[in-house]
Amino acid sequence: MAGFRTHITVSGACGIAYGGFAVQPLGFNTEAGLLAAGVTAVGGMLPDLDSDSGIPVRELFGLAAAVIPLMLVRRLMHAGVSPEGILATLLFAYVFIRYFVSNLFKQLSVHRGMYHSIPAMLVAGLCVYLAYHSPDRTIRMMLACGVMLGFLSHLILDEVYSVDWRGVKPKLKASAGSAVKFGSSSLPATATCYLILGGLLYLAYLDLKKSGTDLGF
Ligand SMILES: [Zn+2]
């Protein structure tokens, strides 16, 4: 299994490439390109939110607790929430994610369970797409693709590391096939993952229908 540093190095490199690609030739502005690079790099850390302990996971939850509420700011402003209301939401969301959600994660997750899977990657992409409010749908899609790219780099890397290259013939380790997958051996975990995916797809569909009429604003 690839370590945290390997993952962040690879997804960081993917992020730089992807951010550059977003600016030229896709034509997004530099700030959007930088954001895309960051989102891609973070995407590469997400699957290991399921690993039991350690600084990376705590670090990630600290980051998620700060960034996820910030991504909601535009949405809250759009909904007419007062500045005080927005600040209060940010604070509560921080505490909620940092302590409550991270504990829940610890209880529920199995390492190399459904967090390491293709549907989980789609869930991450849809979350970014839905959370980020912008009149320009292409930037939301671009960011969603970024987080999925980072996520995928993680899954592929974990698979690459499950091949034992020592010896004449490469052998597969027991962990092979446990990262790039569509379902795990746990039916409840697999079902939950697909339920979340279905729910998010439905929300994205509603969002698409709505923004078809008022251009997303
Ligand atoms: Zn992993």
Percentage of residues in the chain with pLDDT exceeding 70? Answer: 94
| Residue 89 within any structural domain of the chain | no
The total of structural domains in the chain comes to 1
> Which pLDDT score, from 0 to 100, does residue 52 have?
63
| Residue 145 CA, distance from chain mean position | 10
Mean pLDDT, residues 9-22: 96
Domain that holds residue 31: 4-51+111-214
Residue 80 belongs to a domain: no
Range with lowest mean pLDDT among 84-98, 157-171, 194-208: 157-171
The per-type count for the chain, helices as H runs and strands as E runs, is: 8, 2
- How much is the pLDDT for 217? 42
Contact 151, 42 (CB under 8 A): no
pLDDT of residue 213: 55
Convert the pLDDT of each residue in 33-81 to its tens digit.
999 999 999 999 888 887 765 667 778 888 888 888 887 888 888 889 9
- Any domain includes 195: yes
pLDDT in tens, 111-155: 778 889 999 999 999 999 998 878 888 999 999 999 999 999 999
Q: What percent of the chain has pLDDT over 90?
A: 47
In a domain, 106, yes or no: no
Cα–Cα distance measured from residue 39 to residue 125, given in angstroms and rounded to the nearest whole number? 10
What is the separation of C-alpha 101 from the centre of its chain, rounded to a whole number of angstroms? 15
Average pLDDT, the chain: 86
* Position 86 in a domain: no
Residue 159 CA to ligand 1 center (angstroms) comes to 9
Residue 137 counted as domain residue: yes
Residue 189 Cα to ligand 1 midpoint, Å, equals 17
Q: Measured in angstroms, how far is the CA atom of residue 56 from the centroid of ligand 1?
A: 12
Phi, psi of 211 (to 5 degrees): -70, -15
84 CA → ligand 1 middle, Å: 39
In a domain, 20, yes or no: yes
Residues with CB under 5 A from ligand 1 (ion): 47-48, 158
SS3 172: strand
Distance 156 CA to ligand 1 centre (A): 9
DSSP 8-state code for residue 52: S
pLDDT of residue 214: 52
Residues in the chain: 217
99/134 Cα distance (integer angstroms): 29
pLDDT value at residue 46: 87
Higher-pLDDT residue of 49 and 27 is 27
pTM to 2 decimals?
0.83
Query: Ligand 1 centre from 192 Cα, in Å?
Result: 20
- Asked whether residue 216 carries a pLDDT value surpassing 50, the answer given is no
Distance CA 16, CA 23 (A): 11
How many CA atoms, within 13 angstroms, populate the side-chain half-sphere of residue 157?
22
Q: Ligand 1 centre and the CA of 93: distance in Å?
A: 26
